Structure 1
């Protein structure tokens, strides 16, 4: 483990009024998922795009989130990446999974399918491993994807991943543990149905951000619009309640299926990002996770909460770029196809 350096690569200015990136449905086993696309823009103005690295990244949101959580980070990383951001089954604009099962394994299969689609897309970077970035539930899913399919993952970035814990965080209601009891998820869905979009957004901002007052008004308005759209989906509350149940159930797994044990098997360069004011996943887990991963870098951002890619997009982007630039061997070099097609291993 080492402290994560920050890349000096010039980045475009952040635009709080930037709308969500457009997207389309991508076929996966049993259906399709909605995936937003952030096109590569290359170096910022004044720098030549000739020979500039052009790689691919996939972004995976957390519980209750959506592909729109990555609008700012994907825009910054577009200096190097063509970006894809997926709506997990039942979230955002994606339909529910087949038979309505919201297990962690199901989310892992869905992300593997999208990764295979992204890697196979024609154009520069086709056939190469993809840079995988996940937050919260999406971070846990991304970790398990990287362990099971290392051939698809060039680097891994985990933003406050929902690693197994055995004490309920204060920000959670202990009633959430009742989701493990048969029949209770249905009651939770009914309760969620009674929460207005405005209440949901206020709660999300209060719990997920280290400094809620600093969230741009335009982002609040976009979140409200998205929550109102989600309120019209008959499966939305079930997706949230049952995914939470699936997450808690995954914490009880032992052996190779346990995420902490899986983390020790990661072999690609990995960046762990955490906010010091994370109220949902204890920041004390950050150094523990970074120490468990053989080739890891750790970035703890002071004053930031659970969604560093939203609240601190620029330092998060610079840490991702520094890892990728280090792996490439020089700041402006793209990986060769031969190297990219080879599963990554721990550096000597």
Structure 2
């Protein structure tokens, strides 16, 4: 694990991040399930041999500290924009799942030329009439599994059987998620603002997602100019867990597709 202090106009925060592989930078932003929900996918993606995959832990998750000024998705996006600058990352492929996708959408609006493509995986953040995002804070773990997965039985957690430190970290995750995203996990202004995203974008969604249902996929895909939409039949809210190879291959194919239209001198292997 690496730790870096990042200072924005709001203040300073310590960011812990994992890094896998070498090559073109890929930043993966996790959702409310925490960094462990994307770590295996990050390793799988890095195993292609052409990517340096960076996975930040949102401050407050996995037992990390969260300063009081970090209290919104926008604040996290500003934090990661500064982190990308300080790490001097360019040609960044940005991938976000759930609230990580919401952060990624905000980041794509402010990070400028350092980002080259955006992948939104079952992203929260939009207010879609008639399709509210499930209230995570009112659900039991069994209910959350039922809404999150194509095959819920494979991913159920017996919270009572978990060690005390794991329970404590889960409670911290929950508190951080509430601070950042609120109970609605949506920003009514975002749907209008995503029209300002100007980088190639792929919207990937599990058809079985009942946390953030596929109506949100269509809203993102129609709201972002030129965005492509990819629906996965046998996945729910976390395709990186249920169908990781399919997600990896779809992302690689998307990147290869948009890069084929670039001048040869601008292409990055993927």
TM range, smaller chain = 0.7 to 0.9
| TM-fit CA distance, 1:326 | 2.1
- Indicate which of 47, 57, 61 corresponds to 1:91: 61
Alpha-carbon distance between aligned partners in 2 of 1:65 and 1:170, rounded to the nearest angstrom: 15
Is this contact kept in 2: 1:150–1:268, CA < 8 A?
no
Instruction: State the TM-score, normalized to the length of structure 2.
Output: 0.82
The answer as to 2:247 corresponding to 1:277 is no
> SS state of the match for residue 66, structure 1?
coil
| TM-fit CA distance, 1:90 | 0.8
| TM-fit CA distance, 1:329 | 2.3
Is this contact kept in 2: 1:274–1:301, CA < 8 A?
yes
- Indicate which of 112, 129, 132 corresponds to 2:91: 129
Is this contact kept in 2: 1:135–1:159, CA < 8 A?
yes
Partner of 2:180: 243
Is this contact kept in 2: 1:92–1:230, CA < 8 A?
no
Is this contact kept in 1: 2:234–2:243, CA < 8 A?
no
Alpha-carbon distance between aligned partners in 1 of 2:3 and 2:174, rounded to the nearest angstrom: 22
Count how many residue pairs are aligned between Structure 1 and Structure 2: 259
Alpha-carbon distance between aligned partners in 2 of 1:205 and 1:234, rounded to the nearest angstrom: 17
Alpha-carbon distance between aligned partners in 2 of 1:316 and 1:101, rounded to the nearest angstrom: 30
The 1:203/1:84 distance shift into structure 2, 3 A limit, reads: farther
Alpha-carbon distance between aligned partners in 2 of 1:147 and 1:211, rounded to the nearest angstrom: 35
The answer as to 2:168 corresponding to 1:231 is yes
Partner of 2:21: 39
> SS state of the match for residue 69, structure 1?
helix
Q: Which runs of 5+ in 2 are unaligned?
A: none
| TM-fit CA distance, 1:82 | 0.8
- Indicate which of 101, 105, 109 corresponds to 1:147: 109
Partner of 1:116: 85
Measured against aligned partners, the alpha-carbon deviations of 1:34-81 in whole angstroms (never above 9, x if no partner) come to 1111123xxxxxxxxxxxxx311001111x222222123212321131
> SS state of the match for residue 27, structure 1?
strand
Alignment of 1:249-264 (within 5 A): 251-252=187-188, 258-264=189-195
Partner of 2:135: 172
Is this contact kept in 2: 1:38–1:83, CA < 8 A?
yes
Alpha-carbon distance between aligned partners in 1 of 2:169 and 2:39, rounded to the nearest angstrom: 23
> SS state of the match for residue 206, structure 1?
helix
Alignment of 1:155-194 (within 5 A): 155-165=117-127, 166-167=129-130, 169=132, 171-172=134-135
- Indicate which of 30, 33, 45 corresponds to 1:77: 45
Is this contact kept in 1: 2:20–2:52, CA < 8 A?
yes
| TM-fit CA distance, 1:132 | 0.4
Partner of 1:51: none
Alpha-carbon distance between aligned partners in 1 of 2:263 and 2:145, rounded to the nearest angstrom: 38
- Indicate which of 12, 24, 36 corresponds to 1:68: 36
CA-based RMSD: 3.3
Instruction: State the TM-score, normalized to the length of structure 1.
Output: 0.65
Is this contact kept in 2: 1:146–1:152, CA < 8 A?
no
Partner of 1:213: 153
